[in-house]
Amino acid sequence: MDDSLSFESFFEGAKKAAHRAMDDHGRSEHEEFALHAGVAVEKLAKAVLVSKNPLYIAEIRNADMMLHLGGHLQLPAEKVRTAGAKDAIARLRRIGVLPQQDPQLDLLIEMRNGAAHATPDSTLAKGMVSPLARTIETLLDDLGRPLAEFWERWTDAVRNAVNEQEDQVLRDVQLRIIQAKHAFDDRFAGLPPEIREQLLKSPQPRAEEHWIREMQIWDHDLVVLKTGSGTCPACGGEGLLTFKPVVPTPGATTFKATGFGCYLCSFEVSGSDELAALRQTHLPNLMDSMTVTHGRTSPPEDLEMGEPQAG
């Protein structure tokens, strides 16, 4: 039988496509993510079918393919046809490997089939990490292969993705931290470690990008935006925490944290829910709010005076 139809070929192809999908998702390239995620599921589904019987991947209406897979007929490469993703999944459902009903998996395959012709909805594609991770885990369990062997550096991310006990916002923040970390690590692949350390100690923006350090924006005598620094959970560099006023008084204003971002690795979160998830997972001491007195002479050190607040 053709080596391209072997279990090893399908398994390695699925692994490669799955890793590409996670890289795509981290770069918000949703069209490519949908394509590679669907390919990963299709190839691993075929690996499972081949592991049970090579005939199970044959096109149902192609008798020559069954003979070819059985080793009794040689077909030229251009005539080799295997079952599509939907048929492969249907066969695994038929024999009890995959659940009979899984609308999210069906949607992922539909998006994969349309990705080459039209850009899938970004919101839908963004949420497809969970069905991808869940389906891959189910297929690996059937094969008796460990999750870490397949996912390698993405193992923690996909474990979080299938943890239904955790809030969706929390899972999304955890995933983005890992994606940003891997993207940052990839920038320094093959370079001496001291180059990375030097960048972390003294980050310099590229000429075409904007860069904001600790600052205050005033409207006459009122501060309307404050920013402060914080350690990035993805790369360890210096990130930027932003605050907006919520309770102004004649002599002081309480500011609420509204977002965190890192120039070095592009990790960012925004809004109270995502900031709460960030504190829960990585930065418990990240300030939630601060109260400062008014006056243009307030020193920058005021940014460090606030204590972490609940809520």
Q: How far, in Å, CA of 80 to CA of 59, rounded? A: 9
Q: How far, in Å, CA of 265 to CA of 177, rounded? A: 9
- pLDDT of res. 39: 95
Quick one: DSSP state of residue 58? B
Give the three-class secondary structure for 258: strand
In the chain, count H helices and then E strands. Answer: 12, 6
Reduced to 3 DSSP states, what percent helix, strand and coil does the chain have, rounded to the nearest 5? 50, 15, 35
- Beta-bridge mates of residue 289: 256
CB-count burial class (<10 Å; 0-12, 13-18, 19+) for 254: middle
Residue type, 294: H
- pLDDT of res. 5: 79
Check if the beta carbon of residue 138 is closer than 8 Å to that of residue 48.
Answer: no
Tens place of pLDDT for every residue, the chain, 311 residues? Answer: 557 778 999 999 999 999 999 988 888 888 889 899 999 999 999 999 999 988 888 877 766 666 666 665 676 666 666 788 999 999 999 999 999 989 889 989 988 877 444 455 566 777 788 889 999 999 999 999 999 999 999 998 888 777 655 567 777 888 888 888 888 888 888 888 888 887 777 655 544 444 445 556 665 555 556 666 778 888 888 888 888 777 666 677 777 888 888 878 888 888 878 888 888 777 777 777 777 666 544 443 343 334 433 33
Q: How far, in Å, CA of 93 to CA of 109, rounded? A: 15
Q: How far, in Å, CA of 136 to CA of 14, rounded? A: 9
- Beta-bridge mates of residue 82: 58
Between CA 245 and CA 254, with CA 249 as vertex, the angle to 5 degrees is 35
Q: How far, in Å, CA of 243 to CA of 229, rounded? A: 11
Q: How much is the pTM?
A: 0.63
Check if the beta carbon of residue 261 is closer than 8 Å to that of residue 232.
Answer: no
- pLDDT of res. 63: 63
